Amino acid sequence: MSSEHRAKKLINAPEDIISEAIAGMVGAHPDMLRLEGNTGRAVVALDGPRDGKVGVVVGGGSGHEPAFAGYVGRGLADAAAVGNVFASPSPEQILDATRAVDGGAGVVYLYGNYTGDVMNFDMAAEEAATLGIECRSVAVADDIASAPKGREGERRGIAGDFFVFKIAGAAAEAGRDLAGVEAAAQHALASTRSMGVALTPCSMPQTGKPNFEIGDDEMEIGMGLHGEPGMRRGDMASADEVVDELMAPILDEMAFRPGDEVAVLVNGLGATGLLELYILHRRVAAILAEKGVKIHYSWVGEYATSLEMAGASITLMKLDTDLRKLLDMPCRTPALTVGTLQDAPRQARSTVSARPVAETAREESRSRELATDGPITPALFRTMMVAAGERISTEADRLSALDGVIGDGDHGVTMDIGWKAVRDALAQSPEDETIETSCKRMAKAFLDAVGASSGPLYATAFLRAGTAVKDRLNLDAASMAAWIEAACEGVRERGRAAPGDKTMVDAWVPAVEEARGAVTGGADVLGCLDAACEGAERGMNATRDIESKRGRSSKLGARSVGHIDPGAASTVVILTAMRDTAREALA
């Protein structure tokens, strides 16, 4: 498929796709679902949450429908936090779901094992604790292709979510306590393995362009749900040959014995019909029969998709008495119904008043003396930030294209959403707002708008940078360097990345080094920014020769070499826009 091809999609404005899809879903299932919270992203079961019951919150990016909100309903998930396409929900969106399901017995979070999801759910859990809600997390990591045996905790989550969600929801419905529901989910995860194959790419609604390239006669074994490359790319093969290759590592790890029992999921990725999926299931069943393994129940269809990607995944869950009992327990959701629920009175819960994670940025006390030397005034600083957001918008397609090579193709889209929120937030700033307070405003706006991994990373960067200059009204060269350094440390603190991991840190660290060196050498604020840009660009270019060690691209190994990290590229865009705007204003 040519990269120039633009996919046809039945959407309206790209920025409205999530809100409109949620409205359509809730409107289609008014007997099962409702929407709660100020963010508009918490889809809640009409008769799921209740006092004394452990709440189950699932979540992740859109584009995987019916996951995740499709599994909300009695007997399964009590709520889903819905993120942007291929991006984690934000902490505030997760908290809306958390507050809606809190029955006083704690809440279990279930999500795929991706950096953005882990960071955002962790931040939500930290905030929930301050509200008196205890949360436990289980990050689903079932994809054999994404990490070798012995490093199961590094694996990403794909269609195995289906079984883990079902087991946890049943355990909660059965009245198990918080530790019991968490243990059931962990047991389901330990008993579940998946492998997938992709035949074509998908395309982001915002760009309409394929998020990776694959030949018409090729397939990618081990492809991730976001289009992340898998274990190998090869010539297209027959259905039986594909199933044999997908099943081999699953059988190797699960070490079945005659008489064992499994549940089977043959899952379509969005553009592979039931005709083909049933052919795949036929071969799965034959292989298991040869091993003397009994299929307790099979699901065949679309349960965890990747927009319109063609391909499929195979998931097996090895059953024991407890898992079989929980799997067979009734549930009723838009995407999955098992058995028949006994009638029970619905417990209508009033919409929870959503207290924001952080108070809206407000002006700090003027009781302390703020340094006024330096040419970067608060007004100019805000102009620099707005310019950075505008430059990101201009470069969004290029950044997404870079990400499509080694990631999931949404980096530019995600950054554009976050920076647009920053620009809108700064438009509400009073004229006398300090740089520190503007940074707080930016942090909240970015985090609430984005989620994903960029949300926590840039929110933490803005907060740390603002704190670093809290004693300043205006910025001089030294304080501008301090702002850049603190932003870098915020990214490193939240992302736990180091230079050489092939992340945005590889651009931020040399930016700091060059800025500090320039200030030591007597440079003014423009010289400081020039040096930061030079360092960031040098670091960005160096990522081309680095093998990725963090994030989704870390699964590529040597295949990530030869490509620039998109996060490092966006760092260069931001710093360059800041520098150019300051130069124009101060010339």
CA 300 to chain centre: 26
CB 94 within 8 A of CB 124: yes
CA distance 199 to 193: 21
Residues composing the chain: 587
CA distance 160 to 259: 23
CA distance 502 to 541: 11
Gyration radius of the chain's alpha carbons:
24
Q: Is 298 left (phi over 0), alpha (psi -120 to 50) or beta?
A: beta
Q: Is 271 left (phi over 0), alpha (psi -120 to 50) or beta?
A: alpha
CA distance 81 to 181: 19
Whether 563 is catalytic: no
CA distance 88 to 576: 28
Q: Which residues contact 49 (CB under 8 A, 6 or more apart)?
A: 55, 78, 79, 100, 101, 102, 103, 347, 349
Q: 500: helix, coil or strand?
A: coil
**Residue 359 DSSP symbol:** P
CA distance 318 to 86: 29
Amino acid at 349: R
Q: Hey, which bits of 442-586 come out as E strands? A: none
Ramachandran angles phi, psi of 64, nearest 5°? -110, 15
Q: 355: helix, coil or strand?
A: coil
Point out the catalytic residue in the list 29, 64, 226, 281.
Answer: 226
Give CA angle at 218 (502, 153), nearest 5°: 40
CA quadruple 206, 209, 212, 216: dihedral sign = positive
Q: In angstroms, how far is the first alpha carbon of the chain from the final one? A: 48
Ramachandran angles phi, psi of 138, nearest 5°? -130, 115
Pairing mode, strands 135-140 and 294-301: unpaired
* C-alpha separations of 398 from 6, 209, 502, 567 in Å: 15, 12, 18, 12
By annotation, the residues acting in catalysis are 226
